[in-house]
Copies of this chain bind each other. A is one copy, B any other.
Amino acid sequence: MPKAKDLEARLDRADKQVRLYQTISRMLIRPGHLAETTQAIVRLVAEFIGSDSCLLYLVSRGELVLCAAEGPNPRAVGEVRLRLDEGLTGWVARERRLLAISREAYQDPRFKFFRDLPEDTFESFLSAPIIVGDRVVGVINTQHRHAHAHSGDEMEMITTVGEQIGCLIAMAFVIPEEFANADYAELGLAGRVGAGGR
């Protein structure tokens, strides 16, 4: 590829990444419905990465529950549950590590097959834990139907979006009445402790 063309393509990717973070950042601080916001985020991630699905699992009493889904089976939201010792997703939550598999993800011994998730026949899998402070709150996955080698940018993107979702979830614990009349400067100067053990 000629150099200018290559640079143009890289600039286009970087600009898209900037806009993705900005768009999600805006969602975090604007009033909105949590389920709608997470659904909008998985849609943006699938679009950015060009994947065939993007799934968000959140932790509920030692299990991972599918809470937002972009892809072939949106009806599985609220239905699919995984134990933390099950599947690639459980592994990511347990090990607190990013996982990128470029092909034959379903051959991985950690894999768990769901009859109700067509994503489970897909080749490529990218997954990041969602961690706030020292708590694993959930896992975000993207899947490509066909083999796909993930770039470093894509791995960083899923990590950062996972962090943004972590903020979104943590912020849902803030009591609006308590927040509305607070002394933010006192807090900022003293450094009170919050969700992140701050």
Contact = CB atoms under 8 A, between A and B. Distances in A.
Chain A, interface size: which category? Answer: 35 or more
A14 B180 CA distance: 35
Contact of A30 (B4, B22, B170, B196): B196
Query: How many identical chains are in the complex?
Result: 2
Interface string A1-26: 00110011011001101100110011
A59 B189 CA distance: 11
Interface stretch (A47-55, A98-106, A130-138): A130-138
A29 B132 contact: yes
A9 B185 CA distance: 38
Given A60-B186, A156-B22, A194 B173 contact: yes
Contacts of A76: none
Interface string A155-195: 01001100110111111111110111011111111111111
Interface in A60-84: 60-61, 63-65, 67-68, 77-78
Given A25-B167, A132-B179, 20 more contacts: A3-B4, A11-B11, A14-B14, A14-B18, A25-B164, A26-B160, A29-B133, A30-B196, A31-B134, A33-B198, A35-B188, A35-B189, A57-B185, A58-B184, A58-B187, A67-B188, A138-B188, A168-B198, A172-B198, A173-B182
Interface of A: 3-4, 7-8, 10-11, 14-15, 17-18, 21-22, 25-26, 28-38, 56-61, 63-65, 67-68, 77-78, 131-135, 137-138, 156, 159-160, 163-164, 166-176, 178-180, 182-198
